[in-house]
Amino acid sequence: MIILGIETSCDETAAAIVSNGSEILSNVISTQVDYHKKYGGIVPEIASRKHQENIIPVVREALDRAHMQLQDIQGIAVTQGPGLIGSLLVGVNAAKAIAYARSIPLVGINHLEGHMLAPHLECDIPLPNITLVVSGGHTNIYYMEKVGSYRLLGKTRDDAAGEAYDKVAKLLGLGYPGGVVIDRLAQNGNPAAFSFPRPMMHDASCDFSFSGLKTAVLYCVKNNFPDGVPENVLPDLAASFQQAVVDSIVEKTLQACIVCKVSAVALTGGVAANSRLRLHMQQRAQERKISLYLTSTILCTDNAAMIAKAGSFKLAHDLPFPYEMNAISRWPL
Amino acid sequence: MRILSIDTATPAASAAIVDGGRILAECLLTGQKNHSQRLLQIIDRLFDWTGTARESIDLIAVSIGPGSFTGLRVGISTAQGLAFALDKPLAGVPTLEVVASQATGGDGLISPMIDARKQQVYASLYSRTGSDLTQVKPATVLDALAWVESLTGPAVLIGAGAMVYYDRIAACAAAKGCSIVPEHLGIPRASALAILSQAKYAASAGRPELVSALYVRPPDAFFDEAKK
């Protein structure tokens, strides 16, 4: 089945065409990051307006790059939630209208399930496994028994990992989005220069907490550099903060593997593109004889190929048309 | 020319199929909170009831605001998706002009007013001569009373914005010789939209992505931490 995926849950307008649930024929992502930069974060109303301008051109582009016509599409999968409601509405309504006009089946996908299935686009991942979804909105550890059957083992009790990156980048005056800037700066820093807490590291649960870490960075800056952080100290601060985040994530995720007696772990979501996280997870998973499955950067970020992939398990020609499908801003998985 | 028209710019949602200026079917729901769940159902019923094949539509016309941001997203996304998938031209029609076209009476000034909340209205001013509507003042958003005070002569006030703030504006409107159209006549109607689009907007209709919303009110720029 040839599936068109559509994703507009946050600040990326994305469309992709996936064949037989495995072959990515096109994967178009139009990011709005430049429009939100000056506000230091995503402005929901601006995001919605940009999606409205981009949705049809992005779908057109996905078809063009796949050398296909709309007539070739046999089903549509769209992100139904969770996310920004105005952003979701653009994708959901456009998808409904296109599917209706073409008389093809349509299914709504949970964005988190999309992320969980992104690594499966690239290789066969053993089941059951532990899947970590780590992004600007989520830091969730799942036990994945099989496709469609997920158990949430732990999540952040406050800020998501990506949110902590953004907030720390903001307080260090590094700009937005924080993940990319801090990762780059940290390359030249000493991760042991500053001692930051690893919250909940030795707690038995699989939960995370990152807001205390953000506060620790704030006080470190206030106490040591009341006149502002000198330029040459920034890489050390960034590296030390990043190491604290990475240590928490790696430790908790591998702990989950051991507790659940699972020997495969997959990383997905925007923060899973972080170079330090990938490196450390690789080293420590190897030490513990756990197979690690990393997702390519382009599939870590919000994309529609993962939504089409999720759709490939759910779409069938005999589905009743979901006329009443609506966007869902909060939708736990 | 056979037109499918859609308006979801306000708490009312309507769609119509109009053929050669004749209304074949129209459906209007008012007080709906969820256009996203209803709109495509309405459209499907209209096709069904009129025995119209989706591909036989010549033009799709959509209300572009100003109005509820959420409502506009539902209507415009749906219209863009339909126009794209059916390969039909899409026309965007200003909602205030649709409302103005629904005013009864003869030639003169018409001021459509859509509730913008926060004591404000989206408003503009049109001059009608015969069946021609000419915009005299562009769409704006401002305090309801301030808008009426800004009018320099008698005009017909039409739309929910004139009714919601009736108590605040009635005295000023009367002093200026303005009349206020009953509320039910000021609900934007997809049939009026279709007829207006045929006369005025069909010629400039084109690719669906060329149609954009007329928000009038800028976005509130604040950092939103709600996405969890």
Is B54 in the A-facing interface, judged by CB distances under 8 Å? Answer: yes
Q: By the 8 A CB rule, do B95 and B188 touch? A: yes
Q: Which residues contact A173 (CB under 8 A, 6 or more apart)?
A: A229
B137: which strand partners? B125
Determine the CATH number of domain A124-294: 3.30.420.40
**pLDDT for the residue numbered B105:** 83
Q: By the 8 A CB rule, do A175 and A169 touch? A: yes
CB < 8 Å to B212, chain A: 52-53
Closest by CA position to A90, among listed A1, A163, A15: A15
In whole angstroms, give the CA distance from residue A324 to residue A224.
Answer: 57
Over the stretch B71-95, which tens digit does the pLDDT of each residue have? 999 999 999 999 999 999 999 999 9
Over the stretch A292-303, which tens digit does the pLDDT of each residue have? 999 999 999 999
**pLDDT for the residue numbered A162:** 95
Contact B227 A10 (CB under 8 A): yes
- Distances, alpha carbon A203 to alpha carbons A13, A142, A157, A198, in Å: 38, 17, 13, 11
In whole angstroms, give the CA distance from residue A209 to residue B225.
Answer: 16
Q: For chain B, which domains are there?
A: 2-95+188-227 (3.30.420.40), 103-186 (3.30.420.40)
In whole angstroms, give the CA distance from residue B77 to residue B79.
Answer: 5
Q: Interhelix angle for B69-86 vs B35-50, to 10°?
A: 40
Please give the average per-residue pLDDT across A79-106, as a whole number. Answer: 98
Contact B77 A93 (CB under 8 A): yes
In whole angstroms, give the CA distance from residue B148 to residue B69.
Answer: 24
**pLDDT for the residue numbered A97:** 98
pLDDT reading at A291 higher than 50:
yes
Spell out the CATH class of A2-116+300-317.
Answer: alpha beta
ipTM of this predicted structure: 0.95
DSSP run (H or E) holding B179: strand B179-180
Contact A137 B212 (CB under 8 A): no
Contact A46 B219 (CB under 8 A): yes
β-pairing verdict for A2-7 and A75-81? parallel
Over the stretch B155-203, which tens digit does the pLDDT of each residue have? 999 999 999 999 999 999 999 999 999 999 999 999 999 999 999 999 9
**pLDDT for the residue numbered B158:** 98
Per-position b or e across B187-217, b if 16+ CB within 10 A of its CB? bbbbbbbbbbbbeebbeebeebbebebbbbb
pLDDT reading at B222 higher than 50:
no
CB < 8 Å to A88, chain B: none
Is A42 in the B-facing interface, judged by CB distances under 8 Å? Answer: yes
**pLDDT for the residue numbered B227:** 40
Can you read off the two tokens belonging to residue A163?
């949110």
Can you read off the two tokens belonging to residue B30?
């008012």
Alpha helices per DSSP H over chain A:
33-37, 44-65, 85-102, 111-117, 161-171, 178-186, 211-224, 234-259, 275-287, 297-300, 305-314
Over the stretch A239-259, which tens digit does the pLDDT of each residue have? 999 999 999 999 999 999 999
Can you read off the two tokens belonging to residue B154?
């008698």
Please give the average per-residue pLDDT across B96-110, as a whole number. Answer: 95
Over the stretch A22-56, which tens digit does the pLDDT of each residue have? 999 999 999 999 989 888 889 999 999 999 999 99
Q: How confident is the model at residue B221 (pLDDT cuts 50, 70, 90)?
A: low
pLDDT reading at B32 higher than 90:
no
pTM, rounded to two decimals: 0.96
**pLDDT for the residue numbered B43:** 98
Over the stretch B155-166, which tens digit does the pLDDT of each residue have? 999 999 999 999
Contact A56 B209 (CB under 8 A): yes
Is B30 in the A-facing interface, judged by CB distances under 8 Å? Answer: no
Is A104 in the B-facing interface, judged by CB distances under 8 Å? Answer: no
Q: Within 10 Å of residue A181's Cβ, how many Cβ atoms?
A: 18
Ramachandran sector of residue A297 (left: φ over 0; alpha: ψ -120 to 50; beta: rest): alpha
Residue ranges covered by each domain of chain A = 2-116+300-317, 124-294
As a whole number, the mean pLDDT across chain A is 96
β-pairing verdict for B13-19 and A264-268? unpaired
Is A175 in the B-facing interface, judged by CB distances under 8 Å? Answer: no
